[in-house]
Amino acid sequence: MAEAKRAAPRIHLSKLAKPLPKPVQIADVTSITRMAQGGRWRTEAMRSYDRPVLIWFTRGQGRITISGRSGGYGAHSAIFLPAGTMHGFTVNPAVLGSVVRLSDGDWPQEPVHLRLREVRLHRELTGMIDAIEREQTSDASDKDRAIAHHEGLLSIWFDRTRASLSDTDHTDPALVTALKLTEAFTALVERDFCRPLGVQHYAAQLGVTPTHLTRTCRKASGRAALDILSDRRHFEACRLLKDTDLAVSKIARQSGFASPAYFTRAFRSKSGLSPTEFRLAR
């Protein structure tokens, strides 16, 4: 009798395939002056990044809004923002400093605003950022590894400095409540702004009325809830118009507008230009 053939073992490719590694994030530095050259929307419109950011203002002053909370910044303000934190800040020709995009390393889980008064701290922070920028622009071997080590030292310095500075909070309890609701609202906006949803939707998600949400946002940031939502969509539209070649109709959808016609009207109202005119303008 012929021996029965054994069935060949089944090989599941899904078990053999290895997940693709995540792209390695390397810290990089951009001057605030260079960032602002692309237009006021590059700094002032609400946006977030997919990685942590450290903003170091060395000169000048202005206003910064973080998660719906508006406040002032001045010379020698170091502001850390975790990934996904909605923010925007005003600039003028007198404002100088750097924006450092960081990797997902040992950084705080919440925004931190350090006001550095000691000259020693100014020099230390500027020196560490300059070291990252030098490596970034060099042709040296292993520069990515060098940048990673510089960022590690920067992270340790930031934690030590934060711990050494007093952090007493005398904020009015009513304002604290307003800030928490506004922060929750901006988190929802950051998640869903690309969908054509209005303030009523966000208010319902938060269990409050649209009127209460608008009043609370004004108290926390000086801006209405609709203004915050519109500003976030406007930044996304500006970014896509300038940095991609997507069709205007597709940009309208990806920016959370119900139709290209409505997008064009809203964009012109805010910028004074049609989307196409804005894209072509230098």
pLDDT recorded at residue 105:
81
- 11 lies in some domain: no
Number of domains within the chain: 2
Residues in the chain: 282
Mean pLDDT per 10-residue segment, the chain (282 residues): 50 46 78 92 94 98 95 96 96 96 92 95 98 96 95 97 74 82 96 97 97 95 94 97 96 97 96 96 78
**pTM above the 0.85 mark?**
no
How far is residue 40's CA from residue 176's CA, in Å, rounded to a whole number? 30
Domain co-membership, 146 together with 205? no
Domain co-membership, 36 together with 160? yes
- 210 lies in some domain: yes
H helices present in 39-142, as ranges: 41-44, 119-137
- 23 lies in some domain: no
Domain co-membership, 199 together with 218? yes
Domain boundary among 164, 187, 218: 164
Return the CATH number at 144. 2.60.120.280
Q: Torsion-angle region of residue 21: left (phi > 0), alpha (psi -120 to 50) or beta?
A: beta
Domain boundary among 137, 164, 191: 164
pLDDT recorded at residue 11:
43
* CA 19, chain centre distance (Å): 27
H helices present in 94-209, as ranges: 119-137, 143-164, 173-192, 199-206
- 12 lies in some domain: no
Domain co-membership, 156 together with 199? no
- 17 lies in some domain: no
Range of the domain at 149: 28-164
Return the CATH number at 201. 1.10.10.60
pLDDT recorded at residue 38:
83
pLDDT recorded at residue 32:
97
